[in-house]
């Protein structure tokens, strides 16, 4: 990404403030997930904070190399992974070294495969929720999105709490079955 628009070329490149805005938006959107990723690879919260700070500086310095529209979190995680490796090299002087480079790589790979699986499952769940009838969707929205208690949902819907509890369990099971069915279809290579 070229952050200098002074060349006067016909194709539009973002200027510095546009580049800063894009960076800040992407970084703000993914900072929490980036921290979680780092924290899975180091032994303490303080270490993760320090590595996140160092990573943030490098991300800003190298943002011109980032291809806007590609996976920012994956790119940022690669930079963070390298900072974790640097951190591990500093710790190598310690006699008690439990976190080997191989272990860190295995944890990082597990993190990404689990994250991709969760993203897939959320997408399938969203599709399954859309298949519910309006009444069940409203029940799910009241309970999960608004984070109301069963009693509060029952009062709002004018239904007995026991009925709402049973309906939630029925809908929850239907959603779990739907997600499992869609995962099976995806594994079998069929389109959902």
Q: How many domains does the chain have?
A: 1
Angstrom distance (rounded) from CA 182 to CA 65: 38
pLDDT band of residue 123 (cuts 50, 70, 90) is confident
* Residue 75: inside a domain: yes
pLDDT in tens, 65-74: 998 889 999 9
pLDDT score for 98: 59
In a domain, 131, yes or no: no
In angstroms, the Cα distances linking 156 to 4, 77, 140, 141, 145 are 56, 44, 13, 12, 14
| CATH code, 79 | 1.10.1740.10
Instruction: Confirm whether 141 is domain-assigned.
Output: no
Question: What average pLDDT does this structure show over 97-104?
Answer: 67
Of 7-21, 134-148, 173-187, least confident by mean pLDDT is 7-21
Instruction: Tell whether pTM > 0.85.
Output: no
Report the percent of the chain where pLDDT is more than 70: 84
């Amino acid at each position: 990404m070229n952050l200098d628009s002074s060349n006067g070329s016909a194709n539009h490149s973002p200027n510095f403030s546009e580049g800063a805005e894009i960076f800040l938006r992407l970084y703000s959107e993914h900072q929490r997930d980036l921290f979680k990723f780092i924290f899975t690879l180091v032994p303490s919260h303080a270490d993760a904070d320090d590595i996140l700070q160092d990573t943030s500086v490098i991300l800003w310095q190298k943002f011109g190399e980032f291809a806007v529209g590609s996976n920012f979190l994956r790119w940022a995680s690669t930079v963070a992974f390298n900072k974790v490796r640097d951190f591990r090299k500093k710790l190598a002087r310690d006699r008690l070294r439990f976190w080997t480079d191989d272990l860190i790589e295995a944890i990082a790979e597990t993190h990404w495969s689990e994250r991709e699986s969760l993203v897939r499952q959320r997408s399938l769940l969203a599709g399954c929720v859309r298949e519910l009838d309006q009444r069940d969707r409203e029940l799910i929205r009241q309970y999960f999105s608004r984070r109301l208690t069963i009693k509060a949902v029952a009062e709002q819907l004018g239904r007995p709490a026991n009925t709402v509890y049973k309906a939630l369990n029925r809908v929850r099971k239907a959603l779990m079955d739907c997600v499992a069915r869609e995962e099976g279809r995806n594994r079998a290579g069929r389109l959902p």
